[in-house]
Amino acid sequence: MDCSRSAGILLHISSLPGAYGIGSLGKEAYRFADRLKKAGVRYWQILPLVQTGFGDSPYQSVACDSGNPYFIDLGLLAKDKLLTKEEVRGARTADMDFGALYEKRYALLRKAFSRFAFDNEKFRAFVKKGRFEDYALFMTAKTVYGGTFCDWDEGLKRRDPAALEALRTDRHEEYLFWQFLQYKFWEQWDALHAYCARLGVRLIGDIPLYVAYDSADVWAHPELFKLGEDLKPVKVAGVPPDYFSEEGQLWGNPVYRWEAHEASSFQWWTGRLKTALSTYDLVRIDHFRGIDRYYEIDADASTARAGEWCDGPKERLFEHLGKDRSRIIAEDLGVIDDGVRSLLKRTGFPGMKVLLFAFDGNETNEYLPKNIGENYVVYTGTHDNDTVRGYLDSLSPEEYILLRSRVAAALEEEGILVGLGAHGEGMCEAFVRLALACRARLAVIPIQDILGLGSDSRMNAPGTDGGNWRFRLTRQPSARFMGRLKKMIKIYRR
């Protein structure tokens, strides 16, 4: 990570404004990058770019290196003469409805594919490279046969070469459709990334520690996961009860068979990390603590309470990355112990600090601004937290008064002047200023906290089903908000 003090904003691609039901890699992404540049913001952090599966979570994907077809910009497809202006206008909607997107967006993308000259040299080279071979075969089989890969006939389920070749040949157009989606996604992403680089705006990506069970990743490499002979999970991932959930979190992802990874010198993981590092400028590893020790739960358990801690690969996982190690951020939140702290120290990766966890009255609280060191990324909150405004609104009058006194004390310690009112006035700004003022080299603020938005703009509530991942801006952040942020960035030398 860059050693100079910098500021960033957290906003996922899906949350960008636009007329087509979900954010995209088109003009609104470029306009947002322009606003970041003008405000002096040097980092734009996003969530995983992947194609989402059941539950619409970017942390549960059909393939860990895929790009989400929903993010393919329709206007750019029209510019390529793959869609008509009338077809693009027909896709207009104010609602972020994942069910409707699934029904209508893929139908529109199939129209674009039907007009695409897929015998062109660049596309043939893209397919031949093989990066999305497993993905395209997996999605072809999903489209034709439905269900999970465990529901397919034995040959396809266990990836018999003859069955794979028959699928590729007999359903060749379907196979090419899924290759086309990745071709267009990465063409648009690479153009946006290059534009941001020219502006001096660096992109922070995010990779989940685990992959989804119903994915091309597990289907292609079952030997790397704790599966039974029937290829169904034996142990699944989660976390014990913590401040996010009283029952813990039962994620359901199959856990890794780390001894198999180590036997191959972590080839699969090294490839995954190198792909991420070529996609982004910095990469945040979600649930980093699972690399030291991970929590596994019986696959048939109903809650995460009765799990077991097991040793992970620790720093051995990163031995083959070389200089790229300097571009990794460790999400070290949750149940943290000396083992995780030691692993962070040995790798040198910056960890994360969240100010919403800071004000419990404990002067040794590691999230208090005065206790945050340089080698950290500080946030007001993350995609898993309520917004600052939403958190304030959830407090009783007595709880708010106590919080206000603690925040006021922190402001005084940092020499920051912000008036804190009786009803939350000034508090969002106080959190932003405290993040920008502290010693952490990088401060990243969710756009919701820059704009002072409430709980209805929360991105995700862990442990809940439905209603998550739907936050969107209705318009670009105003010049007034970005101008205030620019002044703060200058004041705190970021």
Quote the pLDDT of residue 154: 97
Residue, of 251 and 433, whose pLDDT is higher = 433
C-alpha separations of 361 from 128, 198, 407, 430, 436 in Å? 59, 44, 10, 17, 21
With 90 as the cut, is the pLDDT of residue 376 above it? yes
Phi and psi torsions of 395, nearest 5°: -85, 150
Instruction: Tell me the CA end-to-end span of the chain in Å, nearest whole number.
Output: 14
What average pLDDT does the structure give for the chain?
Answer: 96
**Residue 351: which of 286, 294, 295 has the closest Cα?**
286
E-strand spans in 332-441? 351-354, 376-379
Quote the pLDDT of residue 463: 76
C-alpha separations of 194 from 81, 104, 272, 280 in Å? 23, 30, 21, 11
Neighbouring residues of 185: CB distance < 8 A, sequence distance ≥ 6 = 25, 67, 68, 69, 71, 72
* Pairwise CA distance, residues 394 & 458, whole Å: 13
* Reported confidence tier of residue 334, pLDDT bands at 50, 70, 90: confident
Answer yes or no: are the C-beta atoms of 489 and 482 closer than 8 Å. Answer: no
Tell me which residues are annotated as active site.
Answer: 286, 331, 384
Quote the pLDDT of residue 244: 65
Helices then strands, each counted (H, E), the chain: 19, 12
**Bridge pairing between strands 202-207 and 282-285:** parallel
Q: For a pLDDT cut of 90, what percent of the chain falls above it?
A: 91
* Pairwise CA distance, residues 373 & 368, whole Å: 10
Give buried/exposed letters for 428-459 (b at 16+ CB in 10 A, else e).
Answer: bbbbbbbbbbbebbbbbbbbbbbebbbeebbb
* Reported confidence tier of residue 247, pLDDT bands at 50, 70, 90: confident
With 80 as the cut, is the pLDDT of residue 112 above it? yes
Q: 6-350+441-491 architecture in CATH?
A: Alpha-Beta Barrel (3.20)
Would you kindly state where each structural domain of the chain is located, as residue ranges?
6-350+441-491
* Pairwise CA distance, residues 261 & 231, whole Å: 18
Mean pLDDT of 124-136: 97
Quote the pLDDT of residue 404: 97
With 90 as the cut, is the pLDDT of residue 54 above it? no
Quote the pLDDT of residue 464: 82
* Reported confidence tier of residue 466, pLDDT bands at 50, 70, 90: confident
Express each pLDDT in 156-215 by its tens digit: 999 999 999 999 999 999 999 999 999 999 999 999 999 999 999 999 999 999 999 999
With 80 as the cut, is the pLDDT of residue 3 above it? no
Neighbouring residues of 227: CB distance < 8 A, sequence distance ≥ 6 = 218, 233, 234, 254
Quote the pLDDT of residue 323: 84
Q: How many Cα atoms occupy the beta-carbon half-sphere of 23 within 13 Å?
A: 25
As given in the structure block, the two tokens for residue 36 are 């970041």
Give buried/exposed letters for 52-61 (b at 16+ CB in 10 A, else e).
Answer: bbeebbbbbb
Quote the pLDDT of residue 245: 76
The label of the residue with tokens 């929590």 reads: 295
* Reported confidence tier of residue 264, pLDDT bands at 50, 70, 90: very high
Chain length of the chain: 494
The label of the residue with tokens 């904003």 reads: 9
**Residue 261: which of 301, 304, 311 has the closest Cα?**
311
E-strand spans in 314-462? 328-330, 351-354, 376-379, 442-446
Answer yes or no: are the C-beta atoms of 427 and 407 closer than 8 Å. Answer: yes
With 80 as the cut, is the pLDDT of residue 243 above it? no
